[in-house]
Structure 1
């Protein structure tokens, strides 16, 4: 076997980690502070924690819609960077701004007029009527504040993604670190009412998040415009709204499947939680604890997905298809091996982390069991994530739609729905079956990447 196809030399890993580590660090700090935030809200009570978890699932749908809407243009950005085409980068960034604005306005309208209905969908399970009413009230209060942070989050996403696609990963990381530290400090002050501040509970957590998003946006946007000699594409960005018609059509053609994929995939995640929620608020609380810790341990393979998209996209833009193929294989192997290691560490602490929450013994036990399942199967999403970004880097966005989103709706959700509604199986066993179904997706992904149908240059030479 030719091991060099799957394992690179020191130079390869140095170039890879130069891109990946800043993303990992930013995600690690962001998720660690989110973990502390989650624990702080968890100290207030199980109902409050469940309501925040529900709203964050709805916000997660917006976040991924935004990511999907701008990712199509991001594929072109990475390949324009490989060509050294500054005007092309400028066009793609304008496209991101338009799409981001449209998605944000739609989200504000949906949350503004339908927020209570959406939150209520998760409160139809085995819960006391009083708890459901309280959860709805807390959720509405939290959502109304979080909506204020959608616009700065959108701008940060557009600017930071473009910076990363140009190889500038340190500035978004630093801005993210500052933002999460602001969030952490304000959480401590506003949730519990320290230093003379009012005790605002879940509303205080939302205010802290929104303030940190404005701070991050200010740092990223102002730095980009101040360093025009380094970010030449920013010169003249707002002097015109023009984007060539052909490029616009190409970005829409490549981006629409990604937008639909991220929208429907995030909707699928919300649907999965809704399936589990019929077993009661305790299940929502336990799922929240599990996902919070999982996000900490998932940072390696999440960052590697972004790294695959950037580096492989640049190689394809430069016409280096064989190098792109080898790089994708090496980064996929690296991601899976790292996830095996981090999964074992996570499994070792599966019953320790839930003890930090001020909740019932039932929730702590359930959360620990869910964490153990997630940890032992972490290598499966690591592989499918790397595969997804490999296919996407070559512009095969329609294929990634069927590979990613279509699979969740056709396989994962029917399994979860049927087992939750028509059987008495313990929710942990249901969760295990749903997570293990990713194995078939791994096989499909391996075949698609092996065929090499994603090895395309999509920008004009």
Structure 2
């Protein structure tokens, strides 16, 4: 019986985690390919793309915060077999996401110079970044559509469809990069701007295809306009949504701003040093997004258990997934170190920048397992409504430790960028200790939709 239970666990985890992991891997590989192509234009172009994409990164984190609340409630509604109750909260998140996306669109399209000056004082980097901002601004609305429908589908255990759509969209993006950055097959050579335009076109394609599949096949999330607009009638369910969502929204926004502040700290260290972190970031993102599948599996499986009041099963499942999230990144990190020299040979860097990049890559491999565990811990605790706790430890880690230490090491102690990276990453250790202690208490094992239903 125990063996059968273990088989069910592995089937569920891998069935949920692998498609999400593959989708994340595709996007991370796209970032690396994009960076290599842009790298042909020189270090200035690489830094410009890395810094200009911070605005989209902040928006992405905000959208993730909004959809996280949707995902928590949707998973528990699915666990109780009440999919029809998802429409109202989906509509609320859509409306809020549209308002936020509009604000970021105005910033990127109308005020790109101001946005770039926040991260760099290099005139060449700023000029390249302005072009990138304006083309990328049009991707913000389809980005929201993808996030909302993917969240609802995953909450219902449908994870293959978003992956399959990405399987087409990502190669399309890479091909458009090839055409628009370098001007092949009669297309204009737009350089850095071409990279952003390729992303916008591919993201729009992905959003349209996903939307069409959901509605034509009447999948979870295919609600009528009337159902989506029911959020205007404020009730206990919408109140519950915002009680869950505002801490996650503020957490993601705070983290994104702190990440942008870190980018600014690195940016003012000079292009020759900033390029080391800029080249490392897609590799770090590759590992984290690949193992984001464990976080998704935790959210869905625990949400279903808690919706059915199966608290013991939820706790046991959370512990197992947490152990997986510790050991799996170590193996992938080792593989990255073995192939690091070959990867770095693709970039045109000075010996100084190359040596610094190698050091930063090693440090990243040491810290990234802790980042993955913290990510999965956040999913586990949030599945039962402990979103305020996640917000508080994130705020403390980012603004009491990471950013102040980064500022001190960069502008007072004048450490090189590898020391700055360690200082900015130390907060992950604090968050890990507090998160593990919270999980052991079991206070997060809550059915959030019992009263609503």
2:115 pairs, out of 115, 118, 123, with 118
* 8 Å Cα contact 2:255-2:398 kept in structure 1: yes
CA distance in 2, matches of 1:85, 1:204: 45
- 1:43-442 aligned at under 5 Å gives the runs 43-124=40-121, 132-228=122-218, 230-231=219-220, 234-238=222-226, 241-243=229-231, 244-442=234-432
RMSD (Å) for aligned C-alpha atoms: 1.8
Deviates more, 1:198-207 or 1:212-221: 198-207
Deviates more, 1:13-22 or 1:113-122: 113-122
* 8 Å Cα contact 1:297-1:346 kept in structure 2: no
1:456 pairs, out of 436, 443, 446, with 446
Following superposition, the deviation at residue 191 of structure 1 comes to 0.8
Q: What is the SS of the residue equivalent to 1:357?
A: coil
4+ aligned runs moved over 4 Å, structure 1: 237-240
Corresponding residue for 1:33? 30
The alignment of Structure 1 onto Structure 2 pairs a total of residues equal to 447
Following superposition, the deviation at residue 440 of structure 1 comes to 2.3
CA deviation profile, 1:21-72 (whole Å, cap 9, x unmatched)? 0001111111112210110001111111111111112210010111112211
Q: What is the SS of the residue equivalent to 1:199?
A: coil
* 8 Å Cα contact 1:290-1:370 kept in structure 2: yes
* 8 Å Cα contact 1:62-1:107 kept in structure 2: yes
Runs (5+) with no aligned partner, structure 2: none
TM, length-normalised to structure 1 = 0.93
* 8 Å Cα contact 2:89-2:228 kept in structure 1: no
1:406 to 1:322, Cα distance in 2 relative to 1, 3 A:
same
CA deviation profile, 1:102-122 (whole Å, cap 9, x unmatched)? 111121223344431221122
* 8 Å Cα contact 1:394-1:454 kept in structure 2: yes
Runs (5+) with no aligned partner, structure 1: 125-131
Deviates more, 1:201-210 or 1:235-244: 235-244
CA distance in 1, matches of 2:326, 2:146: 29
Following superposition, the deviation at residue 172 of structure 1 comes to 0.3
* 8 Å Cα contact 1:75-1:309 kept in structure 2: yes
CA distance in 2, matches of 1:220, 1:413: 38
CA distance in 1, matches of 2:188, 2:102: 31
* 8 Å Cα contact 2:409-2:423 kept in structure 1: no
Following superposition, the deviation at residue 238 of structure 1 comes to 4.4
1:95 to 1:281, Cα distance in 2 relative to 1, 3 A:
same
CA distance in 2, matches of 1:363, 1:187: 26
CA deviation profile, 1:252-303 (whole Å, cap 9, x unmatched)? 1111111111011011011111112221012222211100111222234322
* 8 Å Cα contact 2:107-2:115 kept in structure 1: no
TM, length-normalised to structure 2 = 0.95
Q: What is the SS of the residue equivalent to 1:358?
A: coil
CA distance in 2, matches of 1:425, 1:105: 39
Following superposition, the deviation at residue 305 of structure 1 comes to 1.4
Following superposition, the deviation at residue 435 of structure 1 comes to 2.2
Q: What is the SS of the residue equivalent to 1:309?
A: helix
Following superposition, the deviation at residue 453 of structure 1 comes to 1.1
CA distance in 2, matches of 1:110, 1:406: 28
1:239 to 1:440, Cα distance in 2 relative to 1, 3 A:
closer
CA distance in 1, matches of 2:420, 2:254: 22
CA distance in 2, matches of 1:334, 1:353: 27
Following superposition, the deviation at residue 237 of structure 1 comes to 4.4
CA distance in 1, matches of 2:416, 2:222: 54
CA distance in 2, matches of 1:222, 1:446: 41
Following superposition, the deviation at residue 359 of structure 1 comes to 3.1
Deviates more, 1:240-249 or 1:305-314: 240-249
Following superposition, the deviation at residue 239 of structure 1 comes to 5.5
Corresponding residue for 2:9? 12
